[in-house]
């Protein structure tokens, strides 16, 4: 009985052999799947740091809400006391009969329920809640945009916003080893696959953090990651440039020719498959007709440049 071997998407492998055009038509979809798989790999690598970045604001939101619950209970007691004084009137037994007595009664009630303290602290607690929820929302929004497969057509996007979201996602990787300094120019919106561009930036920031971490182990000091955006004119082309600089160990001369090779990595097991820079190059050069390059000085650091057409 004949056996038909099928791949997981439906067409048989024999069909693909018989039709030489079929693999060619599948390549764009496989490229998309490969980019998406590398995104998920990066998210898995960042998961612990992202979880911590979420749990910290959630913790102080919880603490602030607990404080607000207690504050509301105290203010309820105060309000009930005021209502009792107002309802009693000057002729009621024990009710203050003069203005001075009324002031004293209200002051005693305020002091008993820490009203002045609550008036000072409640707005701060509300601000902490709003700030914490805003931070969590920003992290989740950045994660959603990053992990979602990109649109097929290019669309106008804010490059600086992509930088900020990449830094939000990767904060857990760099915050213990490096300070981050940004210098973002006022750029026009660029037509791009913004999720893919953000993927490139995430890869570059992760690499910068790991390079600094390696140097920190040797020298015991925090490093610096500098991210800049600016315009550059190259002939008739106007390019939007993102540079990511670290003051880590730099890239050894023997490694430099292989930086963009697929599956090439100098990292220990579990810290990447060597696909990040290869896919970054494909995104920048093949999908956006841009340029990606680097300058490095062993022992002093590395700067990567991503250049995308503005028009």
pLDDT for 23-34, tens place per residue? 555 556 656 666
Residue 8: pLDDT band (50, 70, 90) is: very low
pLDDT higher for 274 or 237? 237
Pick the most confident of 8-12, 76-80, 237-241: 237-241
- DSSP E strands in the chain: the ranges are 155-157, 178-184, 190-192, 223-234, 237-246, 291-297, 301-309
In a domain, 19, yes or no: no
Statement to judge: residues 172 and 217 lie in one domain? yes
The mean of the pLDDT values for the chain is 80
Statement to judge: residues 144 and 154 lie in one domain? no
In a domain, 80, yes or no: yes
What's residue 131's pLDDT? 87
- The range of the structural domain enclosing residue 207 comes to 150-309
Statement to judge: residues 196 and 285 lie in one domain? yes
In a domain, 13, yes or no: no
Final residue in a domain of this structure, among 149, 176, 191: 149
Number of domains in the chain: 2
In a domain, 10, yes or no: no
Average pLDDT over residues 256-282: 74
Final residue in a domain of this structure, among 149, 167, 201: 149
Q: Please check the confidence at residue 3 and state whether its pLDDT lies above 50.
A: no
CA distance 251 to 264: 13
In a domain, 172, yes or no: yes
CA distance 67 to 168: 28
Statement to judge: residues 58 and 180 lie in one domain? no
8 Å CB contact between 299 and 249: yes
The owner of tokens 């650091």 is 301
Statement to judge: residues 257 and 200 lie in one domain? yes
- Tokens matching residue 141: 């929004």
In a domain, 276, yes or no: yes
Statement to judge: residues 178 and 50 lie in one domain? no
Final residue in a domain of this structure, among 111, 126, 149: 149
Considering only 46-55, 257-266, 300-309, which range has the smallest mean pLDDT? 46-55
Number of other residues whose CB lies within 10 A of the CB of residue 194: 23
CA distance 311 to 109: 68
In a domain, 9, yes or no: no
Statement to judge: residues 170 and 100 lie in one domain? no
What's residue 276's pLDDT? 78
Statement to judge: residues 128 and 156 lie in one domain? no
Looking at beta carbons, which pairs linking 72-79 to residues 24 or more positions away fall under 8 Å?
A: 74/113, 74/114, 74/115, 74/118, 75/113, 75/115, 75/118, 77/113, 78/109, 78/110, 78/112, 78/113, 78/115
CA distance 285 to 306: 10
Query: Measured between alpha carbons, how far is residue 306 from residues 16, 66, 203, 284 in Å?
Result: 37, 47, 12, 7
What's residue 163's pLDDT? 96
Statement to judge: residues 253 and 117 lie in one domain? no
pLDDT higher for 95 or 151? 151
Statement to judge: residues 62 and 167 lie in one domain? no
Statement to judge: residues 145 and 162 lie in one domain? no
């Amino acid at each position: 009985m004949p056996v038909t071997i099928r791949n997981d998407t439906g067409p048989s492998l024999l069909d693909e052999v018989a039709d030489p055009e079929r693999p060619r038509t599948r390549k764009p979809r496989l490229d998309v799947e490969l980019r998406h798989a590398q995104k998920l790999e990066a998210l898995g690598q960042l998961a612990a740091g992202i979880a911590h970045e979420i749990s910290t604001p959630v913790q102080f939101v919880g603490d602030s809400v607990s404080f607000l619950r207690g504050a509301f209970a105290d203010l309820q007691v105060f309000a009930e006391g005021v209502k009792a004084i107002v309802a009693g009137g000057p002729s009621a037994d024990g009710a203050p009969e003069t203005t001075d007595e009324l002031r004293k009664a209200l002051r005693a009630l305020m002091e008993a329920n820490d009203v002045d303290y609550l008036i000072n602290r409640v707005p701060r607690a509300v601000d902490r809640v709003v700030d914490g929820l805003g931070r969590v929302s920003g992290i989740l929004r950045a994660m959603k945009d990053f992990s979602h497969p990109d649109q097929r057509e290019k669309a106008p996007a804010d490059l600086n916003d992509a930088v900020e979201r990449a830094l939000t996602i990767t904060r857990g990787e760099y915050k213990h080893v490096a300070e981050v300094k940004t210098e973002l120019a006022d750029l026009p919106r660029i037509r791009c696959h913004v999720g893919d561009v953000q993927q490139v930036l995430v890869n570059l920031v992760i690499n910068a953090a790991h390079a600094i971490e390696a140097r920190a182990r040797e020298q015991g000091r925090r490093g610096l990651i500098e991210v800049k955006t600016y315009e550059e004119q190259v002939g008739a082309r106007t390019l939007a440039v993102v540079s990511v600089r670290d003051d880590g160990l730099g890239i050894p001369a023997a490694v430099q020719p292989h930086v963009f090779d697929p599956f090439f990595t100098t990292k220990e097991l579990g810290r990447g498959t060597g696909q990040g820079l290869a896919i970054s190059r494909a995104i920048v050069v093949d999908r956006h007709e841009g340029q990606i390059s680097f300058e490095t000085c062993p022992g002093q650091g590395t700067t990567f440049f991503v250049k995308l057409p503005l028009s």
